Structure 1
Amino acid sequence: MEETTELDLRELFYVIRKHMKGILAGLAVGLICAVLISMFVLPKKYTSSVSLYVNNGQPILNNALNVNDINASQKLVGTYIVILQDEHVIEQVAEQLSRPVSAAKLAGMISMGAVNDTEVLSISANTEDPQLSAEICNVFADIAPEVLQRVVKAGSVEVLGEAKAATAPSSPSVVKNALIGALIGLVLMIGWTFYREMADNTVKSEDDLRKHVDVPVLGEIPKIRVEKERR
């Protein structure tokens, strides 16, 4: 059994080495196709973000925050995210944008979350227009303090700066897609190579004959190339 396994492994590497040029060509084609699709087919997305600092509303004693204050603020971040993602709040943001965007579409453009489990709430917008992404974040930052104070009636938020239009697209990632395309091309080419080898039942050597016919081999006629005489 061990000999058969070793033989199969040797054949495996032999097939790969034999068709190495074709396999590398498949890898190159997959890589090039992925790069071209990423650069000229897939839409470019631009991401902007704005940060809000969440305060639980409790007075700070001796200019120092204690663990309870931090934990309370972190819990408020989760509450604020749920409130700001409410459809009524999103509709309010959509109405204040300079261009028409439906609330349903706007909901798919935004994402919110705490920054590294801190009291800072990050609001991000990902669209095909860098100016629109920045505008969405800034409108959220403008209405957030009033909406949260009206609903929660406790705590407060402070906007940390304003969102700016991105100068470079955040997606698609050409490098990431190129690696994925190269891997797909490599796997497909290796699979096609082994399929061809398995489907090929022609006899090319004495070993191939022994695999197909269990009879003794009496002899083998060598293949001799005869070059034509030059006149």
Structure 2
Amino acid sequence: MTLLELFRLLKKHLRLVILLPVVCALVVGLYSVFFVRNTYTATASMYVLAQGESSSSTNLYSDLNASQMLTNDVAKLLKSDRIVDQVGSEVGVEELKGYKVDVTSETTSRVITLSVTGSDPQTAADIVNKMIKDVSDVARSVMNIRSVNPINQAQAPISPSGPNRLLYTVVAFLVGLFAAIVIVVVADMLNTRVRGPEDLEELIDVPVIGRIPTIEGGR
């Protein structure tokens, strides 16, 4: 099937090609509005200070490699069962179910960014602040770390961070459009009826030399 033939086929079934994507987009859009809850993301950053270091020391970057390894350890510790269970009991959310924890640490910095996403903005902010406090206590007791200092306190977000309802709707429209094209093409391939002289020539390999017109009301 050539591209021109495909366009002609889609034009023939234009109602389906338009209606199915629109219906899919409306269904997904309405579902995301009425049944998918808003999510909120609270974020804060922290600075890892190793033993023997001071924030005003001239040798702050002298042992950067070792400090970065400690920073990576702290980043992993933030997602450990010990911290998750401890913070979960403090905020009243068992194992932080329903909340997504994201930890970001760059290879050239000792700054760790902690983000928590969930349905309640204030709980998300409380989780971030308590995780920073608890991870500092644990890191001081089990690692060669002086402290994990918060750079800023997480505040309860006002605007939701998700879901991206527009993206869901657009994707549903494209999926519906693709499904409509597939349905039209497959239905055309399964249709074995002779629909014109071209199909007849391909079937019997004999050229059509004449046609008998249909006369309404005649014999």
Residue in 2 aligned with 1:191?
182
Q: Quote how far apart the aligned CAs of 1:188 are.
A: 0.4
SS of the equivalent of 1:47 reads strand
The CA distance in 2 between the partners of 1:224 and 1:65, in whole Å, is 97
The CA distance in 2 between the partners of 1:165 and 1:174, in whole Å, is 22
**C-alpha spacing 1:135/1:104, structure 2 compared with 1 (3 Å):** closer
Contact 2:68 2:107 (8 Å CA) reproduced: no
**TM-score, normalization by structure 2:** 0.84
Identity %: 28
- RMSD value over aligned CA atoms? 2.7
Residue in 1 aligned with 2:25?
31
Residue in 2 aligned with 1:79?
73
Unaligned runs of 5+ in 1: 1-6, 227-231
Contact 1:56 1:72 (8 Å CA) reproduced: no
The CA distance in 1 between the partners of 2:211 and 2:104, in whole Å, is 74
Does 2:134 correspond to 1:159?
no
Count of residues in correspondence between the two structures: 216
Does 2:198 correspond to 1:204?
no
Q: Quote how far apart the aligned CAs of 1:50 are.
A: 1.6
Instruction: Give the alignment of 1:1-231 within 5 angstroms.
Output: 8-57=2-51, 58-59=53-54, 63=58, 65-66=60-61, 68-97=62-91, 100-103=92-95, 105=97, 109-114=100-105, 118-222=109-213
SS of the equivalent of 2:47 reads strand
Q: Quote how far apart the aligned CAs of 1:64 are.
A: 6.7
Unaligned runs of 5+ in 2: none
Q: Quote how far apart the aligned CAs of 1:214 are.
A: 3.2
The CA distance in 2 between the partners of 1:55 and 1:154, in whole Å, is 6
**TM-score, normalization by structure 1:** 0.80
SS of the equivalent of 2:97 reads helix
Q: Quote how far apart the aligned CAs of 1:54 are.
A: 1.6
Residue in 2 aligned with 1:229?
none
The CA distance in 1 between the partners of 2:106 and 2:40, in whole Å, is 20
Residue in 2 aligned with 1:4?
none
2:94 counterpart letter in structure 1: S
1:165 counterpart letter in structure 2: A
Q: Quote how far apart the aligned CAs of 1:184 are.
A: 0.6
